[in-house]
């Protein structure tokens, strides 16, 4: 027998927040918007102030980050999504630089003490368990460590296994919601996406264990893997692009040493088809980011292929993936977690893949990074770098050799000026260096 559940309104649940509290919100597709609205109403009414809002990436409106709530809500994003990017760049919201795998550590070790955690969960099963569904990430840690936990029971939350499963005893206040999960539909692949996808796919061996995110490049890579064999998945997240490979039997996890036969992820973002795939599926384990992104865990599988993207790279291999100059754009995420994990994996292939130019035709490969840009992947971590113009391995290459290699996959329109910048930086000897 599980404990009897008495649900309350969102207005009543939001009263648990006190001035000065830190509130952790569930992330991505499970962003709890009805609770957020009730919380913001309390802020507008002058009932609370100086409340810190904590989350990784959320979907949908984020009114608590708007200028009207200055002094009422302070946002500390662990990853800056599009919904709070403008507010963060204007200084109304803030970002904590942290590897995704360590977000849970901030909570568990009390560096960021959580007073109230708010999560959406599946309908309770007969054993008194609910599931955190598509988002375990750092929210499991928040549920375990918070003073008070609000659970929003939503029948649309899939019953996912792994760390997602939690007993009702972990929760204090219950609400009900029947809102559909937030969906993300893929845009059609561009020619550039397809070209990058083909170049990356050539680096992936049969039996590889994949990590990749969401968007054009990951989907383009997945679309090229239909003839591969025995691929596995251990990743921070996956999206709909993986499903055809599962249905075809290409992704079967047969070669994995850790969690063989299982798809392992920390959170998901996609369509209802993806959420239905995870529901009641013992072949998918939704896990804490301490597990999905732990370098010591990642490296235990052979042939880990980590595919991550970037905003820019300089000619020595310094990768900026979180900012455009001093303007913060996104976050560190799990790029370094998986780059290091893949590098330590037997036969691993760490890859940074990106278009050679922006949508406005500006080169993303530059002599130096813009002033204020954050170096996410250092030149010391770099292995494979891929654009639509090819793939180069930077491991073991000198600074001058790297420059030649990186410039060789830049857009042809910019190679001459990049080569000139390299010559000015390194001197006449640069002309005699082999790629």
Would you please indicate which residues are annotated as catalytic (active-site) residues? Answer: 236
Contact 157, 122 (CB under 8 A): yes
CB burial of residue 424 (10 Å; 0-12, 13-18, 19+): exposed
Q: How far apart are CA 251 and CA 148, in angstroms?
A: 40
Beta bridge partners of 152: 120, 175
What is the spatial distance between Cα 307 and Cα 298, in angstroms, rounded to a whole number?
14
Residue 351's nearest CA partner among 314, 316, 389, 395 is: 395
Residue 171's SS3 state is coil
- The pair of three-digit structure tokens given for residue 324, joined into one six-digit string: 């455009």
How far, in Å, CA of 33 to CA of 297, rounded?
A: 34
Per DSSP bridges, beta strands 129-131 and 165-167 are: antiparallel
Q: Which residues touch 100 (CB under 8 Å, ≥6 apart)?
A: 56, 78, 79, 137, 236, 266, 289, 293, 331, 332, 333, 334, 337
DSSP letters for 154-180: -TTS---EETTEEEGGG-SEEEE--PP
Q: Which two tokens stand for residue 1?
A: 């027998």
Position of tokens 């679309």? Answer: 223
Distance between CA atoms of 12 and 110, rounded to whole angstroms?
Answer: 27
Task: Output the CA–CA distances (angstroms, integers) from residue 338 to 89, 213, 353, in the order listed.
Answer: 27, 11, 14
User: Rounded distance, CA 197 to CA 195, Å?
Assistant: 5
> Half-sphere exposure of 260 toward its Cβ, with a 13 Å CA cutoff?
7
């Amino acid at each position: 027998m599980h404990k009897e559940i008495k649900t309350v309104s969102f207005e009543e649940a939001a009263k648990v927040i006190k001035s000065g509290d830190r509130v952790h919100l569930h992330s991505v597709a499970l962003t709890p918007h009805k609770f957020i609205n009730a919380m913001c109403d309390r802020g507008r009414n002058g009932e609370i102030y100086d409340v810190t809002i904590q989350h990784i990436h959320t979907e949908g409106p984020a009114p608590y980050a708007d200028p009207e709530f200055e002094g009422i809500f302070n946002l500390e994003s662990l990853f800056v999504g599009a919904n709070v990017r403008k507010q963060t760049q204007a200084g109304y919201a803030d970002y904590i630089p942290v590897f995704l795998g360590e977000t849970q550590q901030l909570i568990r070790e009390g560096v960021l003490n959580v007073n109230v955690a708010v999560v959406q969960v599946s309908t309770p099963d007969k054993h008194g368990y609910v599931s955190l569904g598509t988002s375990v990430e750092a929210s499991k840690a928040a549920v375990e460590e918070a003073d008070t936990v609000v659970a929003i029971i939503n029948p649309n939350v899939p019953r996912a296994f792994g760390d997602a499963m939690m007993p009702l005893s972990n929760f204090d206040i219950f609400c009900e919601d029947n809102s559909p999960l937030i969906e993300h539909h893929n845009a059609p692949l561009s020619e550039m996406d397809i070209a990058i996808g083909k170049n990356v796919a050539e680096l992936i061996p049969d039996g590889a264990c994949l990590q990749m995110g969401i968007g054009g490049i990951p989907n383009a890579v997945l679309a090229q893997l239909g003839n591969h064999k025995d691929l596995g998945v251990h990743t921070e997240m996956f999206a709909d692009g993986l499903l055809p490979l599962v249905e075809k039997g290409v992704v079967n996890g047969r070669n994995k040493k850790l969690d063989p036969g299982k798809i392992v992820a920390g959170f998901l973002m996609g369509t209802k088809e993806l959420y239905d795939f995870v529901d009641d599926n013992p072949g998918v384990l939704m896990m804490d980011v301490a597990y999905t992104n732990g370098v010591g865990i990642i490296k235990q599988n052979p042939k880990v292929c980590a595919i991550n993207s970037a905003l820019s790279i300089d000619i020595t291999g310094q990768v900026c993936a979180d900012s455009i100059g001093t303007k913060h754009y996104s976050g560190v995420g799990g790029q370094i977690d998986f780059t290091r994990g893949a590098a330590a994996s037997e036969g691993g292939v760490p890859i940074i893949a990106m278009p050679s130019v922006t949508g406005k035709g500006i080169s993303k490969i530059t002599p130096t990074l813009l002033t204020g840009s954050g170096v996410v992947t250092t030149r010391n971590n770099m292995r494979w770098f891929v654009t639509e113009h090819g793939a180069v391995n930077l491991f073991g290459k000198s600074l001058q050799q790297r420059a030649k290699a990186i410039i060789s996959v830049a857009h042809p329109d910019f190679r001459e000026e990049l080569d000139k910048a390299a010559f000015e930086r390194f001197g006449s000897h640069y002309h005699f260096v082999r790629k």
